[in-house]
Amino acid sequence: MAARALVQAWGMLLALSFSTTALTLVDRPGATRMGIAVLVLVLAGVKARIILARYLGLAASHFWTRAFDVALGLFIAIAVAIYFIGKGG
Amino acid sequence: MSDRTRHEARSTVAADDDGWGVLGELPGDFMMWVLIVSELLVFSAALLAMLAVRAGDPVRFAADQAMLDRTAGALNTIVLVTSGLCAALAVEARSREARATARRWLAGAGLLGIVFLAVKAVEYTHKASLGIGVETSPFFTFYYLVTGFHAAHVVAGLVLLGLVAVFDSVRNMETAVAFWHMVDLVWVLLFPIVYLVR
């Protein structure tokens, strides 16, 4: 992959990481906290997808991009489900 | 046999010789992908188990989690993501025969890996000074298990990066760097679950 595309992927990862950190600075109990937790988990999934597609080169294969999307989506969905079982503290 | 039939026959043989189907679409070394998927499954199971611990006692989990250094965790995210970029740029440089540049990017990736471990060591030392250990609570059992196992992978990745800096074929470098990206990938999933989700 071209250097420019790699740097762009890095920029996206940093932006998402800063967004995640900014989100967790908001500390309100209840539904807001739960919503933030779900958003943080989804952002983690987006970051993982960027690493898989851009750095690990899966973007070149439609099949494997889909396969890892499904696996990653399943992982995040299960994580969110278990989180809600804990009722957000 | 017509030209068209001969062409189709050759194409079939070529496809059979390949014999990997969609597996052949995976970039780099196939066995590294087996390792990457295995590691991702192990870490995924551990992280989901950690969330299950939280579901069992969210109040205690939150109290223990509040003792973690989020700033250190966030810093390590930036360090590891940047290290991943350096490693990717090393492969990019090596693929256009810029071997010295590739080695410099590998060195950058390795140095950032060492920074990651140093920050982790500071975190562990601080926890130890507070008397927090593996048996303090279920949260900290998982904290040390998951982050310690990840740190062990960072060490293994550093060894691989060192090896391919010497034995620097494109294939070697792609394979080692794929492992390094897996370490990076695990951290971006681990950090929010262990440090952030309240």
Q: How many domains does chain A have?
A: 1
Say whether residue B157 is in contact with chain A using an 8 A CB cutoff: no
Q: Which domain holds residue B96?
A: 27-196
CB of A43 within 8 A of CB of A19?
Answer: yes
CB of B147 within 8 A of CB of B132?
Answer: no
Q: Which residue of A has its CA nearest to B23?
A: A64
Q: Which domain holds residue A61?
A: 3-85
| pLDDT tens readout for residues B93-127 | 999 999 999 999 999 999 999 999 999 999 999 99
> What is the complex's ipTM, to 2 decimals?
0.92
Per run of 10 residues, the mean pLDDT along chain B (length 198 residues) is 45 51 85 94 96 92 93 95 97 95 97 98 96 94 96 98 95 95 96 92
Say whether residue B27 is in contact with chain A using an 8 A CB cutoff: yes
Rounded CA gap, B16 and B140, in Å? 52
Give domain status of residue B21, yes or no.
no
Give domain status of residue B1, yes or no.
no
CATH number (domain holding residue B180): 1.20.120.80
Q: Which residue of A has its CA nearest to B190?
A: A44
N- to C-terminal Cα separation, chain B: 70
Q: How many domains does chain B have?
A: 1
